[in-house]
């Protein structure tokens, strides 16, 4: 779901200014999450819930959404996806430094480095080994990755009990901040809405934002941040595949090799292994 966001961002950003797009992305997601809250009967808003809404709404909401909306205007959707795939590395380092119950084992560290090398291969192979975007665009996407990494660590620490409600508040915060910023920036709101543009914005808000926001908060409360963050390594695979399918962005052999390395690294990070002693049948004596 998150990997598909760059396809819809690339389509939408050609017609919609960045801050307005960030506001629309969150605005479309809010009614979807409202339905989820009603279905799950998550209504109670207390002090801790408001705190989590504000913090997660910033780190996983308006800040990375705005940065990504600006970045996608100067880099390809594949490059955006792979640069955000540095999120697991940032998440692992922040979690090891800030969370007492998380540490980086040698296996996890090696796998993170392997995933990073896979990302390097994918980025380096874009457009015949030449970068197509601007340095500022790349820097903005690194900021997106850092923001999401910090948000994952905070969510792991907070372990919110009402994920749909927190996600709803997160996107309300995101929509309000992006909307206010768009007015300050003087972005034009007179848009030429085509059917393709309506579809792209709707999918961006509902499928690529609302649903993964809830799923992320559910999973992060149950598993370590570094394991949950490892799923971000898979985003470039979806970004590249969808970019090639719908935007005619070329897939190279190095991108395929990098994707295989990424998948293998994620499997090793998230897999649960049992020792031979644990799995060996007990002696029948």
Decide: helix, strand or coil at residue 248. Answer: coil
pTM for this predicted structure: 0.73
Q: Which two tokens stand for residue 118?
A: 């896979």
Any idea which residue has 């993964």 for tokens?
Answer: 212
pLDDT tens figures, 69-105: 788 778 876 677 667 778 888 888 888 889 888 887 7
What mean pLDDT comes out for the span 28-51?
A: 88
Distance CA 242, CA 41 (A): 35
> Helix H segments across 85-159?
87-98, 106-124, 135-158
Rounded CA separation 87/95 (Å): 12
Between 249 and 198, the higher pLDDT residue: 198
pLDDT score of 8 more than 80: yes
- Tokens 């970045």 locate to 71
102-161 pLDDT per residue, tens: 887 787 888 888 887 887 776 666 545 455 567 888 889 889 989 989 999 999 998 888
- Residue 179, number of CB atoms within 10 A of its CB: 18
The conformation of residue 156, written as its DSSP 8-state character, comes to: H
Confidence of residue 7 (pLDDT cuts 50, 70, 90): confident
Indicate the domain borders of the chain: 5-103+132-223
The owner of tokens 């409202």 is 34
What was the pLDDT predicted at 131?
52
Report the distance separating Cα 12 and Cα 26, nearest Å: 14
Q: pLDDT digit string (tens) for 191-211?
A: 888 898 999 999 999 999 898
> Which positions ≥6 away from 32 have C-beta within 8 Å?
205, 206, 210, 211
Tell me whether residue 220 is exposed, middle or buried, using C-beta atoms within 10 angstroms of its C-beta: 0 to 12, 13 to 18, 19 or more.
buried
Length of the chain: 285
Q: Both tokens of residue 153?
A: 């660590």
């Amino acid at each position: 779901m998150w990997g598909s966001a760059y396809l819809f961002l690339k389509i939408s950003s050609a017609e919609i200014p960045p801050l307005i797009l960030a506001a629309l992305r969150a605005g479309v997601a809010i009614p979807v999450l409202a339905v989820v809250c009603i279905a799950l009967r998550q209504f109670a808003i207390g002090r801790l819930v408001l705190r989590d809404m504000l913090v997660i709404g910033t780190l996983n909401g308006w800040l990375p959404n705005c940065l990504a909306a600006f970045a996608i205007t100067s880099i390809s959707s594949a490059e955006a996806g792979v640069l955000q795939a540095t999120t697991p590395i940032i998440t692992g380092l922040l979690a090891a430094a800030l969370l007492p119950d998380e540490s980086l084992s040698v296996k996890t560290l090696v796998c993170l480095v392997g995933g990073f090398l896979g990302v390097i291969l994918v980025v380096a192979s874009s457009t015949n080994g030449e970068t197509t975007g601007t340095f500022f665009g790349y820097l903005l996407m690194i900021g997106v990755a850092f923001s999401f990494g910090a948000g994952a660590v905070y969510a792991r620490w907070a372990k919110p009990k009402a994920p749909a409600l927190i996600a709803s508040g997160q996107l309300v915060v995101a929509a309000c901040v992006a909307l206010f910023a768009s007015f300050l920036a003087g972005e034009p709101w007179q848009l030429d809405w085509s059917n393709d543009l309506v579809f792209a914005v709707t999918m961006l808000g509902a499928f690529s934002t609302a649903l993964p926001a809830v799923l992320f908060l559910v999973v992060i409360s149950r598993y370590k941040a570094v394991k949950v963050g490892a799923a971000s390594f898979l985003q470039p695979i979806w970004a590249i595949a969808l970019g090639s399918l719908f935007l005619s962005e070329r897939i190279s052999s190095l991108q395929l090799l990098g994707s295989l390395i990424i998948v293998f690294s994620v499997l090793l990070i998230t897999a649960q292994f049992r020792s031979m002693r644990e799995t060996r049948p007990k002696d029948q004596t």
